[in-house]
Amino acid sequence: MTDDLLRADELKIVFDTPRGLFKRKGAGVQALRGVSVRVGRGETIGIVGESGSGKTTLGRALLRLADVSSGRIVFDGRDITGLGERDMRPLRRRMQLIFQDPMASLNPRHTIRRIVTEPMLFHRVAADPADAQRRARAIFERFSLPLACLARFPHELSGGQRQRVGIARAALLAPDFVLADEIVSGLDVSTQAQALNLLKELSRDLGLAMAFISHDLSVVRAVCDRVYVLRQGLVVEEGRCDAVFESPKHPYTRALLDAIPSPRIDPGWLQRDQGD
Amino acid sequence: MVEGALTQRTDVSATRRRWDWIGVCVADPKVAVGGGFILCLCLVALAAPLIAPHDPLEQDIMLGLTPPPGFAGAEPGHWLGTDDLGRDVLSRVLYGSRVALTVAFAASALAAVIGSTLGLAAGWRRGWVDAAISRLVEIWMAFPPVLLSILLVAVVGPGVGSVIAAIAIIDWTRFCRVVRAETMNQASADYVTAARAVGFAPGRILMREIFPNVAPVLIALISLEMGIAVIVEAILSFVGLSVSSDTPTWGGMIAEGRQALHEGWWILAAPLTLLLLTVLAFNLLGEGLRRALDPVMRR
Amino acid sequence: MSAPILVIDGLSAVSQRDGTPILRRVSLTLHRGETRGLVGESGAGKSTIGKAILHILPSAVRVTAGQILFEDRDLLTMPSAPLRRLIGERIALIPQDPMTALNPGRRIEAQLTDGLRLIRGASARTARARALSLLEEVHIREPERVLRAYPHELSGGMRQRVLIAAAFALEPALIIADEPTTALDVTVQKQILRLLRNMQNAHGTAVLFVTHDLGVVAQVCDSVTLLFGGKVIEEGPVAQVLEAPRHAYARALLDACPRSDHPELGLRPIPAELIARLRREVATP
């Protein structure tokens, strides 16, 4: 088990209901009710669930972007649960995040150049601005992004290009772990395939560990080694992807799997009920 | 060589793009008209001693209440006529723009600095900072504004400085509320989470990531506030609480003109028209800037 | 086969701003009770067709040629008062986002009975009774309570059920479903798809189903029209288009879909040269 890059034990997160001038503090909303996950080095895990399952909160917590009520997060053998922002800073380079909505995750008033080079300079991954630009250009070529994009603003790019910029920004920091939060849900299938293949390639070439958050089981199956199925803040099933997908044990997993419409015609599918 | 050339070319285009927004703003008809008018007014105010045909304070009882050219009894050299003390209305209006613009720029800048500092703090830090600032704003806004400013000037004493202070002290709440809401809105965007995930310090995120996105709203608001400041200054002058009575102001002229309305309508008409146009120009400018500075709306 | 209820013939539209074509001579025919999938990636023009039928095109889009014959009347040339009445009574829309499609300030009852009272002139009492039976028909458990509720008190799936009930309220001949399940969770999506299909079978309504999801098309639609760049690339019965696609683009699109049943298939990016070829093909008249 020492092989784990990132491990979370019994995470619980309670969101405070806002406390107003005339209101007492409420009981709060339990987003996570004791979730344990682990990500091995170079491994890609999938975190699957529907809205309200807590999957996004879990992702944010793993990166210490959301506060944990109880439980423990260990990154590369080091307990980071209570680490302050200043102590987290050197670790931030090593754990990166790719967002669902590439438009919202790129600052609308910054050029793409600034968006991808600033983090490299901040973490001294690049020696100077020229070096940072050289690295940016190299990865843009690899991602088949036009170099002219560097001088543009986010809204001037297409959705697929923005998503690749988001991936490039994370990859340029040479992280050990990348969290991909619903990164293909807004994309067309053709761009989706492109982005997913890019990520698969990156994780293979750089030995990246990834956590792949998605509501779409077919996407998870295509890219992940292991999968966690989340429901209402609890893991209901976990295991190797092929095992979980071939013979799901929990009725909820079965229902989820059955609910995906396959492009192969199945006349009985619509009226058939499964699980739940 | 090829590499270098490429870098240079993209850099040039980036520099060009950095200043693009000026072109975009000027191309906006509202900004062009409103901003053009304000710019002309600024030049007039600066050059008032050079272009005013008379000393605005020079009285000539013999030439009192002469109408503008084209009306019976007009006197050559007084393009907008004279008031009851025989002072040249055109010269007084020109000099009046100095007070109006000084107050407009200084008061709204001051209000913007106070309001947006508190607004950024409240929107970014949330928690008790937000609670404290928000309560302060609510209490502050419960005071009737004009009454408060009259009271303030009455206590501190009249003068341009106290008019500016009065306006800033009343209107910072407007900036605070808008900037707070916009900061909160921006802070919840994914690009802020992205900046946190990189590890940027909170101050840097606030000033370099969030503030540029709040700035367009702020700039538009400052422009609107300048229009409001011009009116408030005129009101205070009207009730005689602005600068001393020997400095010509639009509000003061309107007050004087009101007393002589039946004998000389022109005394009132000139400052009133200019006041109206100035406020309209500031509003147009604010409206246009809001649209032109939005990076997503402009294409 | 019964007479078609909707015939679109050579429909072309351009962007008002720069004149770029949005639809290029699109033709399609829809029969009573048929579900036609309208698929394509973003920018293919699939939503534009639905909006053109409902006369809710944004002002930036202008129809330049073609006919939209609905029950033998051309919707593009009809005078506006009878047109509004015809559309209001015979064509309904199920929108994409159940969160914003209902007015947050009005109770469900008011929103469900609008059409009945305005177009049918029903009394408050009969309209309410009809609304209740509609809610029961879409399997809403406590219809009385839901009628009194405001939209924010309902879940996304419930709201989409209410919107389906509203769409069927006037027994329309045609329903345009614009990505009706894109915003929903998969398990809810399946329930909504099933509900829509069952309602449609019971009422004999034709549905134009705008979607980007070939999986949904395979399970729900009878026939499909595939668009690229505003042009019809392939059309036919679902079985034929999805199982023996004639056009390379249809095949490529199928190969790009992630497949949970066959992970080794799927997720193949569409070759750039195919897209380039299609762009040229679409642009030449």
A257/A185: higher pLDDT: A257
Cβ contacts of C156 on chain A, cutoff 8 Å: 51
Distance between CA B93 and CA B113 in Å, rounded?
A: 30
- CATH T-level fold of B14-292: MetI-like fold (1.10.3720)
How far apart, in whole angstroms, are the C-alpha atoms of residue A57 and residue A11? 11
Q: Are C52 and C131 contained in the same domain?
A: yes
Sign of the C-alpha dihedral computed for residues B166, B171, B175 and B177 taken in this order: positive
- Kindly state whether residues C229 and C261 are assigned to the same domain: no
**Do C163 and C277 lie in a common domain?**
no
- Record: contact A130-B191, CB cut-off 8 A: no
**Same domain, yes or no, for C269 and C241?**
no
Q: C265 and C135: one domain?
A: no
CB contact under 8 A, B17 and A111: yes
Domains plus CATH for chain A?
1-16+28-94+177-260 (3.40.50.300), 109-174 (no CATH)
pLDDT at A28 over 80: no
- Strand A29-40's sheet: what is its strand order? A29-40, A4-15, A70-75, A78-79
Kindly list the domain boundaries of chain B, sorted by start residue: 14-292
Q: Test B197 with A92 for CB contact under 8 angstroms.
A: yes
pLDDT in tens, A70-79: 999 999 999 9
Residues of A in contact with B296 (CB under 8 A): 108, 155
Residues C43 and C8 both lie in one domain: yes
Measured between CB atoms, does C124 come within 8 Å of chain A?
Answer: no
Q: Residue C131 above 50 pLDDT?
A: yes
Q: In terms of domains, do C118 and C49 share one?
A: yes
Residue whose C-alpha is closest to residue A105's, from B244, C280, B192, C80: B192
State chain A's mean pLDDT as an integer: 89
Query: In chain A, positions 145-204, which contact chain C (CB-CB < 8 Å)?
Result: 159, 188-190, 192-194, 196-197
Q: Indicate whether C123 and C153 sit together in one domain.
A: yes
Looking at the partner chain, which of A216, A217, A265 has a beta carbon nearest the beta carbon of C239?
A265
Which chains have 3 or more CB–CB distances shorter than 8 Å to chain C?
A: A
Inform me whether the pLDDT recorded for C88 exceeds 60. yes
Q: Are the CB atoms for C107 and C148 separated by under 8 Å?
A: yes
Which of B10, B193, B213 comes nearest A150 by C-beta? B10
- Residue A20's pLDDT band (boundaries 50, 70, 90)? low
**Same domain membership, residue C63 and residue C48:** yes
Chain C interface includes A260 (CB < 8 A): yes
> Mean pLDDT across the stretch A134-161?
92
pLDDT at site B192: 94
Cα distance between residue A187 and residue A159, in whole Å: 7
- Percentage of residues in chain A having pLDDT higher than 70: 94
pLDDT of residue B16: 52
Residues of chain A contacting residue C45, judged by C-beta atoms under 8 Å apart? none
Q: State pLDDT tens for residues C8-19.
A: 999 999 998 888
In this complex, is the C-beta atom of A2 within 8 Å of any C-beta atom belonging to chain C?
no
Q: Which residues of chain B have a pLDDT value below 50?
A: 1-12, 14, 298-299
Q: C239 with C251, same domain?
A: no
Give me the pLDDT at residue B225, please.
93
Same structural domain for residues C260 and C149?
Answer: no
The answer to which of A124-128, A181-185, C138-142 has the lowest mean pLDDT is A181-185
Residue C196 pLDDT: 93
- The pairing of beta strand A4-15 with beta strand A70-75: antiparallel
CB-based contact, B139 to chain A, within 8 Å: no
The pLDDT assigned to A2 comes to 55
| Phi, then psi, of C67 in degrees rounded to 5 | -130, 145
Predicted local distance difference test score (pLDDT) of residue C284:
79
| Domain residue limits at C269 | 247-285
What is the CATH classification number for the domain harbouring C45?
3.40.50.300
C199 in the same domain as C132: yes
Of B14, B195, B295, nearest to A151 by CB-CB distance is B14
DSSP state of B208: I
| pLDDT tens sequence across C44-81 | 899 999 999 999 998 889 999 999 999 999 999 999 99
Tens of pLDDT, residue by residue over C241-251, are 999 999 999 99
In angstroms, rounded to a whole number, what is the distance separating the alpha carbons of residues B248 and B253? 7
Q: What is the pLDDT of residues A186-236, one digit of tens each?
A: 778 888 888 888 888 888 888 899 999 998 888 888 889 999 999 999 999
Domain count along chain C: 2
Q: Is the pLDDT of residue C32 over 70?
A: yes
